[in-house]
Amino acid sequence: MISEPELVDDPGPDPAATGARDTLDTQDTQDVPRRARSRRPWLWAVGGAVVASAVWAGGLFVYDWAGPGLGGYRTDRDPCRVARLDGLASVLGSEKGEGSRPPQKREHSALFRWNCSVRLAGGPGAYDVVIDYELHRKTDPGPELDARMTDLGYERTEGLGDVSYVDGGGERSITLVVRDGQAVLRMFVMTEGSLADRGSASEDDPEAPEVDPDALRTHTFADMRQLMSALKS
């Protein structure tokens, strides 16, 4: 005869196991937002990089559209009128007068140019000062200008603009070329009749006096510095 199975008391869930599961469940629940939060800085970093790239690209677009900075140089001032030429007038014993030929002004989207001349007269003989003013609106004039001045044998000097080039020429002439950012300025000082369009000067005209080459150079540099300042806003 088969006896009925004995009833065994059910001890119920193990408190230790239940506590462990509760602890694990609590840890899992707490870890979820923590792991989610740990991903947020990474997302912000990516978003910041995207924004920075957009700003950088926009800056390049604006620079390309606007062109290089012109350093404050203006195009509405006649360089021969704003150039005082006090130094040259004093060393040559002359006074600033009218130009020896009509000024020429050319306007282009990539290049602005103004060419004019001034007569320094009143003493024994006279001098012509020719000023050539260029403003490069699109490209850097530096490399090409440096190559040209080197080929012509000009002396490269510092202390005026970004770089300057000078050709002494003697006691009666000097040529000074200055690059200042996008601007290129040339000042030719020569005796009256030296210009191509004045090659038929009369032999009876008094010859311009010789001057100290160092003094001629010093005053040409000083007058160029004043002209550069006058052409800026």
Query: Rounded mean pLDDT of the chain?
Result: 76
- Residue in the block written with tokens 């002004």: 105
Rounded CA-CA distance 177/168 in Å is: 12
Rounded CA-CA distance 82/77 in Å is: 7
- pLDDT over 70 (residue 14): no
User: Average pLDDT of 6-15?
Assistant: 50
User: Average pLDDT of 220-227?
Assistant: 97
- Domain extents for the chain? 14-66, 79-196+208-230
Distances (CA, A) of 222 to 85, 170, 188, 231: 9, 19, 14, 15
For CA atoms 44, 45, 47, 52, give the dihedral sign.
Answer: positive
Model confidence pLDDT, tens digit, residues 106-158? 999 999 999 999 999 876 678 999 999 999 999 999 999 999 999 999 999 98
Model confidence pLDDT, tens digit, residues 200-209? 444 445 566 6
Model confidence pLDDT, tens digit, residues 44-88? 444 554 444 444 444 444 444 456 788 899 999 999 999 999 999
Assess contact for 91 and 209: CB atoms under 8 A. no
Rounded CA-CA distance 131/10 in Å is: 113
Rounded CA-CA distance 213/174 in Å is: 8
